Amino acid sequence: MIVEPHDIFGDGVNVAARLEALADPGGVCISWVVRDQIRDRLDYTFEDLGEQQVKNIARPVRVCRLRDRSTELAGAAVPTTASISQTNIAPRLSIVVLPFLNLSDDREQQYFADGITEDLTTDLSRLENMFVISRNTAFTYQGRRVDTKQIGRDLGVRYVLEGSVRRGGNHIRVNAQLIDAETDAHLWAERLDGDMGDLFALQNEITSRIAVALNLELVGAEAARSIEHSDAFDYILRGRVAMSNPRSQGTFAKAIGLFERALSLDTSSVAAQSWLAAALGCRVINQMTETPAADITRAKELVEQALAASPRNVTAHFARGEFLRAQRRYDEAIPEYDTVLAFDRNSVSALVALGHCKLMTGSIDEVIPLMEQAIRLSPRDPLIAVMYYRIGEVHLLQSRIDEAIVWLAKAHSTNRELAYIHAFLASAYALKGETERADAELGQARRLDDRYSTSITQLTAGFFWVPETRALWEATYFAGLRKAGVPEE
């Protein structure tokens, strides 16, 4: 097998696909090479089917059918995939994307529906700890009436995603719904509309938005399940849910406590190390910690442990970006977020963090497009206040005061606990001469963070400046804070 950042291919993949086609419905076939590797480790016996000539493989492949020793001794039939799945608990984050239905009169639109199914399967498989049934297996259900509970049992998954595509003229409507395979309960639904003008771009946007929303929904659904004995993974899921809530000191305290609990249960867990480091770094970035130096030191240690154990782990690279950003080492953080996006193009968190880094390194014109992309991907994101704020921040720095106030007000209405949003609003209102509003916002900023009760000199101490943007900050943000009443010394 050959593994590249965006693909896995080679004879290993081809052989697996051909063996699936050779297997009886519900049956399992493996190559003789695999049989040699597992025969002394698993309680199965094998029926030799001899050498088979398969497509795209130059030499014949020796194939065998899997038999369960225990059922064979009892005189039972060959176990099916369903019977094997039923004896095991489905993976926590496991899903099958069923072929989307084409509800259009034009049968040729089936290719668009199939493309959405395939892209969603790929995007979901890139999410952390996600188990996704292959598209080849999923497409065996195409055109069939399905029972969600039976699919869950047959494939050993907890969730089923199904949907439809309907075209009318140049308009496309896509419906998707997430179903709990155990209870048949509908957990989430989304309807997306688009224009056929650029079909490829439309397909990308639809699949990306669904993948982002599903990531939040699946993690939330799993974290909410009642479990008798929680393990490290349970606490990681709960911590991730806490981190998806609007930023506040309480949010960070809860998430960090859950990640700490996960790490105490599994001290070698790369996921626990990475998520804890990311939360500590993010708390420093958001100015919601009374121990920034200690948080940064702990985050650094955790990131180093995670990357030493798993150098290509995407969450560990994101955590390293957060740790570097907390240290204001923005140039060094950018490649970390680029690494995340190279693996998962739909990482809203990486897009938002990258926008901050671009702002602080002088590439201010790149910031708003990154935030707009994040908003398109997750228009109802719990953390959307930060995206709105960043757009307002850029408008203010570029002296578009009215536009800045619009976006900063949207951020404020979404999350009132971020001191820096109030500070920027205070600056913007002061620049417009709206003294009362400026006073009110500065008061809120000071209530949330006493640094705004000090002076311009102290606020700018240690501030990361680059020649391209220092003049902008001085002429807009800090000039507005002076007018709002923050003293120079």
Query: Which CATH homologous superfamily contains domain 227-327?
Result: Tetratricopeptide repeat domain (1.25.40.10)
For residue 336, which phi and psi values (nearest 5 degrees)? -65, -45
Looking at 8-100, list the stretches that DSSP marks H as alpha helix, in order from N- to C-terminal side.
11-22, 32-38, 69-73, 81-86
β-pairing verdict for 159-168 and 186-195: unpaired
CA distances from 421 to 73, 415, 440 (A): 70, 9, 12
User: Three-state SS for 18?
Assistant: helix
Q: According to CATH, where is 3.30.70.1230 located in the chain?
A: 2-80
Q: According to CATH, where is 1.25.40.10 located in the chain?
A: 227-327, 341-489
- Sheet strands (E) in 169-222: 171-180, 186-195
CATH number assigned to the domain covering 94-224 = 3.40.50.10610
Place of tokens 């065998």: 64
CATH number assigned to the domain covering 2-80 = 3.30.70.1230
pTM of the complete model? 0.73
Give yes or no for a contact between 91 and 158, defined as CB atoms under 8 angstroms apart: yes
Comparing C-alpha atoms, which of 454, 451, 440 is closest to residue 487? 454
Query: Along the 489 residues of the chain, how does pLDDT read in single tens digits?
Result: 665 555 565 667 777 777 877 776 667 888 877 876 676 556 666 777 777 766 666 667 788 877 644 333 333 333 344 443 444 468 888 999 999 999 887 776 788 888 889 999 988 888 888 889 988 888 888 878 888 999 998 888 999 999 999 987 788 899 999 999 999 999 999 999 888 777 778 888 888 889 898 888 888 888 887 666 678 988 999 999 999 888 889 999 999 999 999 999 999 999 999 999 999 999 999 889 999 999 999 999 999 999 999 999 999 999 999 999 999 999 999 999 999 999 888 899 999 999 999 999 999 999 999 999 999 999 888 889 999 999 999 999 999 999 999 999 999 999 998 999 999 999 999 999 999 999 999 999 999 988 899 999 988 876 777 777 888 999 999 999 999 999 998
Domain 341-489 has CATH 3.90.230.10: no
